[in-house]
Amino acid sequence: MSAALNCRLIGRWRIVEADLWNRDYLDLVEPATITIGANGHGEIAFGAMQAGLDLGYSTSMVSFTWEGCDEMDEVSGDGHAELLDDGTIEITFAYHNGDEAILKAKPETSSTAC
């Protein structure tokens, strides 16, 4: 895959739905997010899981391997995220020898207090 320079997924995304879990679970510990950095690394957090990402880039897709913790257990896996026509991303997120989930995310908007 090419360098991150032209990748349209770089930034922070709010995970808003999943095929395996409801919204309450996704936001169990903190708001569910995925951050796609331009430096080959990123982060994902949902439910009780937090992980670091090692990224590969194309213009409208990233692939990744990940390692982290889920309820104090070490977990790892792989996946990819693809930009959809409506400006959201669809994330295929797979645990090593375990579940595979499809997550949807939208660009995170921030508000600044006055």
Burial class (CB in 10 A: 0-12, 13-18, 19+), 9: buried
Note the pTM of the prediction, 2 decimals.
0.90
pLDDT in tens, 48-93: 999 999 999 999 999 999 999 999 999 999 999 999 999 999 999 9
* Structural domains of the chain in order of their starting residue, each with its CATH number: 4-107 (2.40.128.280)
Report pLDDT for 1: 43
